[in-house]
């Protein structure tokens, strides 16, 4: 659920207008797929544990994604699927499993727009971790945007006024875990390629989640398998769309399009579940979105320099 997934396919320099348009179209497709995935999770969440949904997503996702990324590795990346840093692949896969499970729990118990807004803290956490652990220079402008984003989160959470519930905490934890996964993604993708890290994440997550999923397993009614199929297809489609969009266009250009996801999910929340957005959540979302867009734009500008 990261907003700006660094998967080793970002363009180092400015893209052409044609590439930017194509990248924007793929990003809109990603937002639509993310919306469908969120709706499926919410509908399944009443009867299915989050860990079971996360396991089904990863396990069935391997079947859908493996042919796509193996073909991409052969044709586009010009490198075979390989795992030269197995421990980093393992850690990233475990972080992905925990982040997905936490995020699915949040989507099942919070208004969709609220959970999605808190997920947008992932690139903010990633900026902090890059400065603390990767030695990346972060200037005062980006630190100001980081501070603004956390202020936006406080506006939404309203600690001391509104009691914190597990779903809210897990939504923030999901963003934090995805940010840690992003920190590992860059060196691993440079060594082994995007196809390798996508496949390893799905495999490691499936293995890590199988025992917890079986321990809490509930029978899946025949009618619910349609929602499971939607969940798997939408999440896999979103991953493919993200790869294509960031391989074509610059992250700074794509940032505003990525946040269409919040509008789509808010609309879906109202249509399917009659969920509204209160004033503090709307204000906090505006602050987080603005800060995250600035961070993405600033990083892209520095990368071009």
For 140-150, how does the pLDDT look when each residue is reduced to its tens digit (9 = 90+)? Answer: 888 898 899 98
Residue 42: the pLDDT is 96
With a cut of 50, say whether residue 165 has pLDDT above it.
Answer: yes
Q: How confident is the model at residue 4 (pLDDT cuts 50, 70, 90)?
A: very low
Residue 76: the pLDDT is 56
Residue 273: the pLDDT is 93
Phi, psi (5° rounding) for residue 11? -80, 135
Percent of the chain surpassing pLDDT 90 = 41
Give the contacts of 251 (CB within 8 A, at least 6 positions apart). 4, 6, 10, 296, 299, 300
Phi, psi (5° rounding) for residue 135? 70, 20
Q: What is the largest CA-CA distance in the chain?
A: 55
Give the contacts of 99 (CB within 8 A, at least 6 positions apart). 1, 173, 174, 175, 177, 178, 181
The answer to whether residues 5 and 242 touch, using CB atoms and an 8 Å cutoff, is: yes
Residue with tokens 């396990």: 59
Residue 73: the pLDDT is 56
Residue with tokens 């920190």: 183
With a cut of 90, say whether residue 234 has pLDDT above it.
Answer: yes
Residue 109: the pLDDT is 94
With a cut of 80, say whether residue 264 has pLDDT above it.
Answer: yes
Instruction: Residue 19: name the closest of 188, 175, 247, 189 by CA.
Output: 247
Q: Which of 12-26, 168-182, 207-221, 239-253 has the lowest mean pLDDT?
A: 12-26
Percent of the chain surpassing pLDDT 70 = 87
List the helix and strand counts (H, then E) for the chain: 12, 0
Residue with tokens 């197995």: 86
């Amino acid at each position: 659920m990261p907003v700006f997934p660094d998967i080793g396919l970002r363009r180092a320099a400015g893209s052409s207008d044609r590439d930017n348009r194509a990248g924007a179209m793929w990003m809109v497709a990603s937002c639509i797929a993310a919306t469908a995935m969120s709706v499926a999770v919410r509908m399944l969440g009443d009867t299915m544990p989050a860990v079971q949904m996360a396991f089904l997503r990863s396990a069935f996702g391997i079947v859908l994604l493996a042919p796509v990324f193996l073909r991409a590795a052969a044709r586009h990346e010009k490198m075979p699927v390989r795992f030269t840093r197995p421990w980093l692949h393992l850690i990233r896969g475990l972080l992905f499993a925990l982040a997905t499970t936490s995020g699915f729990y949040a989507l099942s118990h919070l208004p969709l727009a609220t959970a999605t807004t808190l997920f947008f803290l992932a690139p903010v956490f990633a900026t902090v971790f890059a400065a603390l652990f990767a030695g990346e220079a972060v200037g005062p402008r980006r630190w100001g945007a980081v501070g603004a984003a956390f202020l936006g989160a406080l506006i939404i959470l309203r600690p001391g006024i509104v009691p914190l519930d597990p779903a809210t905490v897990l939504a923030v934890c999901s963003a934090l875990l995805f940010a840690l996964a992003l920190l590992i993604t860059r060196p691993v993708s440079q060594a082994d390629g995007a196809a390798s890290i996508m496949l390893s994440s799905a495999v490691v997550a499936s293995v890590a989640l199988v025992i917890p999923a079986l321990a809490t397993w509930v029978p899946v009614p025949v009618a619910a398998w349609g929602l499971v199929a939607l969940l798997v297809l939408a999440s896999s489609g979103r991953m493919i769309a993200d790869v294509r969009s960031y391989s074509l266009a610059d992250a700074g250009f794509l940032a505003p399009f990525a946040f269409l996801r919040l509008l789509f999910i808010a609309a879906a929340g109202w249509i399917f579940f009659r969920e509204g957005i209160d004033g503090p959540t709307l204000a906090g979302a505006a602050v987080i979105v603005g800060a995250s867009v600035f961070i993405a734009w600033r990083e892209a500008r520095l990368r071009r320099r």
